[in-house]
């Protein structure tokens, strides 16, 4: 018989296989996941989860789809956490510090507790990218927050009420729109597509095997 562990889902005890993730363990226990279940691969941020191991004081945050169950794990999924999402026209804003002061002034109330960084299931240095946003360094903020999946766990732990994922999203949009140089090869490719010049190449690619496509992807030219 495969190894099993005892976990507690919303206060009720279940014995489940030890190699399951929290998400698959919930389904094994009979829960039908209609919310808090998206991509199942750690990209969408929909399955934010809180848990504590019996006998330990630390409250941990995780994504249910990529966290393996442990014996004595007390689990509760986190409901949708309302982030502050300001409305703006990316064509009319400017990439300077004032835009953050206007749209997300709460970032300047950061107390430096680092709870956001400790809570991030992606291991991002969340407090650092907020510091970059405070200074108007949107490129650094965009780079530091690139792997954010907008689960909202960081914001749920923030005493200043900062909506970290939305701040990071604005920084990435400003960086992409105004600060990153145009990729000339991409512009040329778009023009080529619009002119219908790649139909033959697309058909050739469609006829390749999975192995050939992987090889083409892994050996492609990447712009420096």
**Interval 97-110: pLDDT, tens:** 999 999 999 999 99
- Provide the pLDDT confidence category of residue 224 given band limits of 50, 70 and 90: low
Domain boundaries, the chain: 4-77, 97-179, 184-218
Helices (H), the chain: 22-28, 97-103, 115-119, 126-135, 138-144, 153-156, 164-174, 184-194, 199-206, 210-218
Give the pTM: 0.77
**CA distances in angstroms from 188 to 60, 83, 153, 176, 204, listed in the order given:** 47, 38, 40, 18, 20
Is pLDDT above 70 for 66? yes
Is pLDDT above 80 for 114? yes
Quick one: pLDDT at residue 125? 98
**Interval 181-197: pLDDT, tens:** 988 888 898 999 999 99
- Higher pLDDT residue, 71 or 36? 71
104 φ, ψ (degrees, to nearest 5) = -130, 65
Q: What is the pLDDT of the chain when averaged over all its residues?
A: 92
Which of 30, 102, 20, 107 is CA-nearest to residue 66? 20
d(CA 189, CA 198): 9
Out of 1.10.10.10, 3.60.150.10, 3.10.20.740, 3.30.465.10, the CATH code matching 4-77 is 3.10.20.740
Quick one: pLDDT at residue 3? 93
Quick one: pLDDT at residue 36? 76
């Amino acid at each position: 018989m495969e190894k099993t562990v005892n976990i507690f889902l919303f206060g009720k005890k279940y014995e489940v296989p030890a190699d399951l993730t929290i998400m698959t363990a919930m389904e094994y226990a009979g829960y039908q996941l209609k919310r808090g279940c998206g991509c199942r691969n750690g990209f969408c941020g929909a399955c934010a989860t809180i848990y504590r191991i019996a006998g330990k004081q630390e409250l941990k945050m995780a994504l249910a789809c990529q966290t393996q169950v442990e014996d004595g794990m007390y689990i509760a999924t986190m409901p949708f956490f309302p982030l502050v999402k300001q409305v703006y026209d990316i064509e009319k804003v400017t990439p300077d510090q004032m835009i953050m002061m206007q749209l997300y002034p709460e970032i300047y109330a950061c107390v430096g507790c680092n709870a956001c960084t400790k809570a991030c299931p992606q291991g991002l240095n969340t407090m650092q990218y907020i510091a970059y946003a405070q200074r108007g360094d949107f490129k650094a903020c965009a780079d530091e927050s690139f792997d954010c999946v907008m689960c909202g766990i960081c914001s749920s732990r923030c005493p200043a009420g900062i909506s970290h994922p939305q701040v990071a999203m604005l920084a990435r949009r400003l960086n992409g729109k105004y600060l990153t140089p145009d990729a000339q090869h991409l512009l040329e490719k778009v023009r080529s597509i619009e002119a219908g010049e790649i139909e033959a190449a697309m058909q050739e690619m469609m006829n390749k095997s999975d192995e050939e496509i992987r090889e083409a992807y892994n050996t492609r030219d990447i712009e420096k």
